[in-house]
Amino acid sequence: MVRILAVLAALVYAVPAMAQPLPANLDKTNAVVIDTTKGRIVVKLRTDLAPQHAERIKTLAREGYYNNVPFHRVIDGFMAQTGDGKNFNGTGGSKYPNLTAEFSNVPFRRGIVGMARSASNDSANSQFFIMFGDGSFLNGKYTVVGEVASGMDVVDKIKRGEPVQDPDKMVKVQVASDIK
């Protein structure tokens, strides 16, 4: 009975998000759809700036790596970080090797998606963050991998914390062209 209720609750959250149309003129082969516990976020991947990083996100999405992964670090006015499908707390990465940095001149501002990394420039792997506001101090130091095409209102609703207690999650992440 509990499992049935859990499935029904998941459907209540997922159905409205899945019913939302994708933005017009979206390159579906280079976009990911993130259905969260708060709604849907669509990210346009910047393959022109960070082809390796964009490909990594698409690969992990197709493998289901990001499904049910929490937003583990969410700082008001700064960013919401997620993507640790290994440990679910910000300490893990994928089975793939770390990526070489692909820095650009694109500024970190509201809606920009960047790759999280450790102290080494070439340590990005699976984790990424979405900017709530300006983060010019990150410019040229982190890889810009995309930007939110729709759903910043959803990003704004993500529960804050460092770490977040009872965090919101990415329920399902898909490459937009794979959605049937």
Query: How far is 148 from 150, CA to CA, in rounded Å?
Result: 6
Rg of the chain, C-alpha, whole Å: 15
Number of domains forming the structure of the chain: 1
- Model pTM above 0.75: yes
**Parent domain of 90:** 2-178
111 torsion bin: left (phi>0), alpha (psi -120 to 50), beta (else): left
Give the alpha-carbon dihedral of 108, 114, 120, 123, to 10 degrees.
-170
Nearest to 115 by CA among 124, 123, 104: 124
User: Cα dihedral sign for 18, 161, 165, 91?
Assistant: positive
Task: Give pLDDT tens digits for 37-67.
Answer: 999 999 999 999 999 999 999 999 999 999 9
Which CATH number covers residue 59? Answer: 2.40.100.10
Task: Give pLDDT tens digits for 107-150.
Answer: 999 999 999 999 999 999 999 999 999 999 999 999 999 999 99
Q: Please, which pLDDT band fits residue 19 given cuts at 50, 70 and 90?
A: low
